[in-house]
Structure 1
């Protein structure tokens, strides 16, 4: 590394990343934020696919969102010299991450078996849409597709609505967190045994894990259906959901009918038993809904919170960015880019008492091949050899 690293948990850990799009890069960025040296392998010239998404001034915001604390090395993986460079990197690396379709890395000669022969201690994470085998092996795996397949879309919205996807890539980012956790566990295992291993993860497994509550209940005979009033969960009792007020909206979470009756000054609500709050949820919701129009969101929040009701505001992203708790937690930071100017980014969600985890990144997302010469010099390549590789379009 050319920059002095703070004493972060993964300082000294080298990760070779073949990750692409969202799931893979988000996985390794979590490791990079904790000090790992991430070397991202990209195509010479054009770079990785995610550089073409959500452009601003010709720059991909998706790429900048997911690639801080990473270095870019361009390589033609089909060229023998390109494979030789990967093998040299792997020899001194700790982790390899890839999320190509199953079989791609094996066909390139860069699968786990081949690379573990070079470095038996390598931790190799292979992430895919559906896993390394099975009837969906050839299908495309992507966040929205998995929201539809695994029931998430069918569990969201009103009963009469079409299945409704969430407004964020929740499966990609949940999968990324699980991937980083799995890699951390494998590195810890290696400290005890000296052995590396292959880790297979999938968006499908992550999507099912994300919905443990609903899937578990269904598997054990508890059938849930969406409410017509649009409660936030098919298994929730009323009034669990969003309510419009005289001005703005709020959410009301778990609450007993007795507590709610007192807070809303509506005795009929207390007549609903705990079981009836679910079986008669449409009826209960219909009682609560017009009452909420009597006050503004701010007035209701002051009143309900004072009564011990679990509730909160409904904010837009613009409002979130100036939320006092958001600002107190310092979740956003600014970084400079030569063409984009000031970029506001989201810090690592982790804070640790025994490591000086920086709230700001050590490096911004790289340009295509920005660190190619740097990485090759670390492998012992001289200027003439690097120039020859560039002439042959290997890098």
Structure 2
């Protein structure tokens, strides 16, 4: 058996997160990914924590890729990149619009040399339109597309602040990978590649399940909870101090009754205050208080989950990332992988989530590479360059690398 993307070669001109996570997905699925870095490297190489000059942030997103470091601003560097593109199936880049053109690596230039290339461009606001030249990082895009306001309005008491998690980057990486796979599938039928222009801002609208509600004009039936909003779903504390989240809005039709039976407060079902959804929403503090009061008497998470499951309600323990990664579930699913920290130890990073019935186990493979560590190997293997040619490129600073100093 072979991995799903075995035989696919990807040139990765990306940095930070939206592009690197996309190309890590392609690598985990079996593609050969060659990361092309400028002489100053991906900026995540300068993050912490790190060991052996290898940051764990960089390692998580780039393990399994080969690394070459090319000065694309030089004629020789851009020419080599174009030659590599002729031998590739996919290019992914997340520069601002116009940067790849400056390097002579626009889709038009690459596709003229390789009509089968699938070329994905990730930008903040797209390659067209009045915002195309704006600088864009996840917190900015999340602010521009409603997420920051929604988080502040629902659950943060009107306080707006940036999120610790780069949702716009990660969601965009997923949608970019889906576009690449769709274009590769279409290429099987047409023989031609194509350009994929994907904007982080559009992705954030696409993945927001409440956009329809924000754009809805007209009357709303007061006896329904709008748009399956999650913000009113309970988070409770058990007798042992453990926190649990429960799925299901306790004001909703049917769900309210499930809750009341689970917490042995069927008297509230007949209370006129809670006869309608509107009434339950008006007195939601009372409903949530009753649920919290009951939960505080339950000794542990297993018991509360048992009680709620009997009434068709789902619940989950509030865990840290370390706690879930150390769980029996994570071990059974191989949800966490150990990768080389380049010093004899390992980093723990999330593994790929796919389990294929007719393919070998996929996931992160190989070690994270130092900048330009694979220069010679890639240029020999892909372009057939001689050692003398490679040495000349090093001497003229077209190629560069940064390896850690050996300790004596």
Q: TM-score normalised to the size of structure 2?
A: 0.86
Worse overlay, 270-279 or 136-145: 270-279
Deviation per CA, 1:31-61, whole angstroms, max 9, x where unpaired? 11111111111123x4222211224233221
Q: Displacement, 1:154?
A: 2.3
> How do 1:146-295 and structure 2 match up within 5 A?
146-156=141-151, 157-158=154-155, 160-163=157-160, 165-211=162-208, 213-221=209-217, 235-236=228-229, 240-246=233-239, 247-254=241-248, 256-271=255-270, 272-273=274-275, 275-276=277-278, 277-278=280-281, 280-295=283-298
Which residue does the alignment assign to 1:138? Answer: 133
| Cα distance in structure 1, aligned partners of 2:110 and 2:275 | 61
Which residue does the alignment assign to 2:322? Answer: 318
Tell me how large the CA RMSD over aligned residues is. Answer: 2.3
1:365 aligns with 2:368: yes
Deviation per CA, 1:119-160, whole angstroms, max 9, x where unpaired? 111111000111113332232211222222222222225262
Q: Is the alpha carbon distance of 1:160 and 1:223 closer, same or farther for their aligned partners in structure 2, counting shifts above 3 Å?
A: farther
Match of 1:23 among 18, 25, 31: 18
Unpaired runs of 5+ residues, structure 2, are 221-225, 400-408
Q: Is the alpha carbon distance of 1:31 and 1:238 closer, same or farther for their aligned partners in structure 2, counting shifts above 3 Å?
A: closer
Match of 2:307 among 300, 303, 311: 303
Q: Displacement, 1:376?
A: 1.0
Counterpart contact for 1:239–1:288, Cα < 8 Å:
no
Q: Displacement, 1:347?
A: 1.2
Q: Displacement, 1:223?
A: 9.7
| Cα distance in structure 1, aligned partners of 2:394 and 2:260 | 74
Counterpart contact for 2:48–2:56, Cα < 8 Å:
yes
Which residue does the alignment assign to 1:227? Answer: none
Counterpart contact for 2:34–2:67, Cα < 8 Å:
yes
Deviation per CA, 1:93-117, whole angstroms, max 9, x where unpaired? 1111100111111122111111111
Match of 1:48 among 36, 39, 42: 42
SS of corresponding position for 1:110: coil
Q: Is the alpha carbon distance of 1:136 and 1:238 closer, same or farther for their aligned partners in structure 2, counting shifts above 3 Å?
A: closer
Deviation per CA, 1:302-333, whole angstroms, max 9, x where unpaired? 32233332222111122212222222211012
Deviation per CA, 1:226-251, whole angstroms, max 9, x where unpaired? xxxxxxx9853785131233311111
Q: TM-score normalised to the size of structure 1?
A: 0.89
Counterpart contact for 1:238–1:281, Cα < 8 Å:
no
Deviation per CA, 1:274-313, whole angstroms, max 9, x where unpaired? 6234454344324433333233442423322333322221
Q: Is the alpha carbon distance of 1:125 and 1:393 closer, same or farther for their aligned partners in structure 2, counting shifts above 3 Å?
A: same
Worse overlay, 346-355 or 145-154: 145-154
Q: Is the alpha carbon distance of 1:234 and 1:144 closer, same or farther for their aligned partners in structure 2, counting shifts above 3 Å?
A: farther
Which residue does the alignment assign to 1:3? Answer: none
